A and B are shown apart, each in its own frame.
Chain A
């Protein structure tokens, strides 16, 4: 008898739990979050998403990540269908492409309602979220460049690894001391096939007084100015006059990790990889100031909401967006600099093992420069291998053209893009 009652209660409990499960599954909403992270940052974001789902059982997040181009192709082909993303990460330089096509929601109100305000982010990073004075993104992080120094190589030639590159003379002096051609060792990695080459030039271009990439109206090339030529000539000289960087270099990262070059200029995303290298002591320094004032190229990941009609999914996506931005310590640990000042000023973030490295990037926040945030940047920006500007720079570094000649031709091609 007792057993019978026990069985009855047990069966009832099972049915109850099953019904509860069905009920809660019915209440749960599934949303899609897409990004283009393929390195250690992928795992960082996966962790944040998993934490979010644990804390918010009413939302199930399908997180998808692949190389950026593939994500955008997928986004474009699914746009307007139920298969598209509800929350989409991109770079600030991509916002114009999608916002101009009416594919993104404006987020001013959403930002206010969720207490994601301008004062909580570095000003330059916040400004990058706007296209034609309308806000389309909430900043997740920003990533300027910095110099990674191989401490042992510095010490071996008697140079203080802590040296600051605050003038052209200091920078050149250190570069020359670190170069030992007889040992096939060079001071700096530049690369002949990497978008970073354009980014170095971009940073140095802006260090000139008045140096700018486009005119004020943002509809005509201005980079073939005296300042632009001087900045590119400087990179050329590093290769051919001072000979402090290897020619025809195709893998700048490996050259640094194998001790062929003493310095590489990379973003914060590179920190987790370096951390795993045994017997490699690395010290970071801000992007070298070789002209009048400090400046550095930067990118920034931003979170956007693709336009759609389903209010429930929008609400869930906003909830996730807000969570990701406010809980980005883990994102910082994955090698990105969180954009939220509340996060980077928190004790949790400051106690991260690599904080001393991250600080070098954080300290550059006031003089970062994004590439032009306009639609045409997709054609001439550093991320497009077909960019006339990138290829002009390569042609100079390959010794095919002079800096002035190459930039003039690129300017002509960029101006033609504005005429289309």
Chain B
């Protein structure tokens, strides 16, 4: 006698999430827990190690380069975050207009995002080269002297920022564009009939409707910015003079060049905590606003 599948049980959305939970546990949760365990060890790349408790965390507190890396990462976030969110929204509003060549423009804005980060890094290293780069070449037309974008500690992070915004702003734009499609047309039309100016319409109708989207965009921008690595690795390697050393770049060097896996895991664990705290903070703040 064949056993019948209970359709009521199958209809529960939780069942459909099971494959995701399985993959999440194996490839995300598992490594996160393992990382915390490893951070308690003085572990070498070949697996030789001894349990040292919280010693790695104590070392981290006194590690000058870690603090430099954390400061640089937060600086990067403060540059990229606002520009990527506000800029992404601005571009989405622009590309949502019924203008000629809209599809081409939308594709052009999103296109950089599909390029691999290594290609982005090499490309922008050329563009920002102080002597031969095209950016300085064009700035020269305005009488601006060549800027040592990636070779001066004071401008290197700006160089990384420019490349990053070019690469990632398209992603936020597309998310905002999707959000704009959900803004009820009747609300827009009603505000038009009421004689609201475009600015008033944006502030009072569109932005409130975009709150859940904004919430998502802000959160992902923070998470991705705190994990910045590829651009730094390919463009500056963390230099000059540690000016672009970010937390992930540092943990990479510690783990895969110096082979101090336990310590690298500690840096990773602290970064995880920073991301978690910041995300929860944003979550709380934005949820209040959304509600």
Contact = CB atoms under 8 A, between A and B. Distances in A.
Interface of A: 69, 72-73, 76-77, 79-80, 97, 101-103, 192-193, 246, 248-251, 254-255, 258, 260, 378-379, 384-386, 391, 394-395, 398, 400
B47 to A, nearest CB: 8
Q: Top 7 nearest A-B pairs by Cβ distance?
A: A248-B148, A385-B237, A76-B45, A250-B151, A73-B256, A192-B151, A248-B151
B151 A101 contact: no
Interface in B190-239: 236-239
17 contacts: A72-B256, A73-B256, A192-B151, A192-B240, A193-B150, A246-B131, A254-B132, A260-B131, A378-B258, A378-B259, A385-B237, A386-B253, A391-B241, A394-B240, A394-B241, A398-B152, A400-B153
A378 to B, nearest CB: 6
Contact of A398 (B150, B240, B253): B240
B110 interface: no
B110 to A, nearest CB: 30
B106 to A, nearest CB: 35
Nearest to A191: B151
Contacts of B151: 192-193, 248-250
B48 interface: yes
Interface of B: 44-48, 65, 129-132, 148, 150-153, 236-242, 245, 250, 253, 256-259
Given A251-B132, A386-B253, A398 B44 contact: no
B251 to A, nearest CB: 12
A260 B132 CA distance: 11
B131 A385 contact: no
A385 B129 contact: no
A34 to B, nearest CB: 16
A131 to B, nearest CB: 16
Contacts of B44: 101
Given A250-B130, A384-B257, A101 B45 contact: yes
Contacts of A250: 129-131, 148, 150-151
A400 B236 CA distance: 19
A400 to B, nearest CB: 7
Given A73-B256, A193-B150, A248-B152, A103 B239 contact: no
A192 B239 CA distance: 10
A69 B241 contact: no
A193 B131 contact: no
Contacts of B150: 193, 250
A251 B146 CA distance: 14
A385 B239 contact: yes
B68 to A, nearest CB: 10
B48 A193 contact: no
A395 B241 contact: yes
A386 B242 contact: yes
A91 to B, nearest CB: 13
